Amino acid sequence: MTTRLNLVFILFLFSQSLLIGQESNENKEGKTGWNFGALPTITYNSDLGLQYGALVNLYDYGDGEVYPTYYHSIYAEVSRYTKGSGIFRLFYDSKFLIPNIRFTGDLSYLPDQALDFYGFNGSKAVYNKDWEDDSSDSYKTRMFYKQKRNIFRTKLDFQGKTGIKNLNWAAGLNLMNFDLNTVDIEKLNKGKDDDKILPDTATLYDQYVKWGVISEKETKGGFFTSLKGGLVYDSRDNEPNPMKGLWSEAVLFQSFNSDFTFTKVAITHRQYFTLIKENLSFAYRLGFQGVIAGEAPYYLLPYMVYSYLPSSTTDGLGGSKSVRGIVRNRVVGKSMGYANMELRWKFSHFTLLNQNIYLALNPFMDFGQVLVEHDFERDITKLESSDNLDDYFKSGSDKLHITYGCGFHLAMNQNFIIAIDAGFPLEEQDGNMGLYIGLNFLF
């Protein structure tokens, strides 16, 4: 069982985000100079241990001429579980460092001792909750739908004008190293009481490796050099939370590895409508992500490609950045489609301790589905008499996964936005509920 203490810190965070902003010459219309917000991280997971750390986002508004746009944004996050998982990340974003070009840089180390892994092709992969429920008679292990994955990533992204109003070109370089394995049960069991010891038994990942569903060349990961290029149409009136405009893009992602070379296309359309001036808007996002050439390893099928992504999270579908409420990586295929719809209501605006604040609610519905399945083979010679494939695989095709929920957002100076979203799936096979605490609106 996981105990999360983040909510204890919401009031603390609220006070801190107001108090730690640097003093500046400000009127109600803008900000000048440097400003920053911070979020402490303290959680506990009975399997991963104590998580501790913090994130900070610094904004340079300079003379205030471009407010609410900033001249420079620097984001740093360090959070760590005592048993090895964590986020170590430095992110930079600016439209002014290089004349007429937006540059974003990301350097991250993302160790994960218990990454969600539910198989392929959405609802065609059976999810048996009792196998990870230690109070059930059918219990196998709390780690049954987990695997180990460590990522070291460097990203350099660029955008510039094409000469056509609101239309930009986009280009980027990604260097990623994946270190994969089964869950390290021995490490996770260190220091546990006897009644919390994890059984040393096969996980879904182990079964897939044994059966050949995950091929030998995929099991340990590898180093990938990836290039991307595309076009972006952006007429938003405000990036962090637009009230009107379009943000659409088509991106081609080419990835190279000694064993795998593949091409992925990502098409994303976002649109924003003002319903009540300054206070109520409707926003929706439609997306497609698909491998169109070559062979992608299973662990890069859920990798989401965008022209610009400020989040450390790139997994989907399912989780905080794609289909909220579905367990992370539940819907994975060769090609996937998804949609998000939400109302955004700024119900309170005020200035406190020299900071411009607004509070917002955002009821939402999210959707996702595998459109083209991931093909794989099973080596039936490696099946044991106890292996009942109906417990793992279903026939037919994937169906639409739907969630609903609501979020709460606290925004300081329009750019530093604390987000709390709770999502609920319609189908039991997709999980129970997702609660996410982080930064920024979804899109």
The DSSP line for 325-378 is TSPTT-S--SEEEEEEEEEEEEEEEEEETTEEEEEEE--EEEEEEEEEPPP---
Lowest-pLDDT range, 286-290, 341-345, 404-408, 436-440? Answer: 436-440
**What is the average pLDDT across 396-413?**
96
**The pLDDT value given to residue 50:** 86
217-226, 308-317, 372-381: which has the highest mean pLDDT? 217-226
Compute the distance between CA of residue 107 and CA of residue 76 in angstroms, rounded to an integer. 10
How many other C-beta atoms lie within 10 A of the C-beta of residue 309?
A: 16
Does the pLDDT at position 294 exceed 90?
A: yes
pLDDT of residue 342: 98
Give the residue carrying structure tokens 């900033």: 70
Q: Which residues contact 82 (CB under 8 A, 6 or more apart)?
A: 48, 49, 50, 51
Regarding predicted confidence, which is higher, 18 or 308? 308
Pair of tokens at residue 106: 């990301």
**E strands within 133-244?**
146-161, 167-181, 221-234
pLDDT number for residue 29:
60
- Partners of 303 in the beta sheet? 315
DSSP one-letter code for 23: P
Q: How far apart are CA 133 and CA 139, in angstroms?
A: 6
User: Is pLDDT of 436 > 50?
Assistant: yes
Nearest to 157 by CA among 278, 314, 388: 314
Location of structure tokens 């290039």? 227
3-state DSSP call for residue 411?
A: strand
Q: Which two tokens stand for residue 133?
A: 């429920």
393-403 burial: b if 16+ Cβ within 10 Å, else e:
ebeeebeebbb
CA distance 104 to 180: 27
Q: Summarize pLDDT for 18-44 with one digit per residue, the tens.
A: 444 444 444 446 789 999 888 888 877
Classify 320 as helix, strand or coil. coil
For the residues 79-104, what does the mean pLDDT come to?
Answer: 95
Selection from 91, 99, 100, 87 nearest residue 73 by Cα:
91
pTM above 0.75, yes or no: yes
Q: What is the full DSSP assignment across 156-179?
A: EEEEEE-SSTTEEEEEEEEEEEEE
* Confidence at residue 21, expressed as pLDDT on a 0 to 100 scale: 43
User: What is the token pair recorded at 394?
Assistant: 């279903």
CB 150 within 8 A of CB 75: no
Torsions phi, psi of 296, nearest 5? -100, 140
Domain architecture of the chain: domains with CATH: 80-351+364-404+414-439 (2.40.160)
Residue 12 has pLDDT above 90, yes or no: no
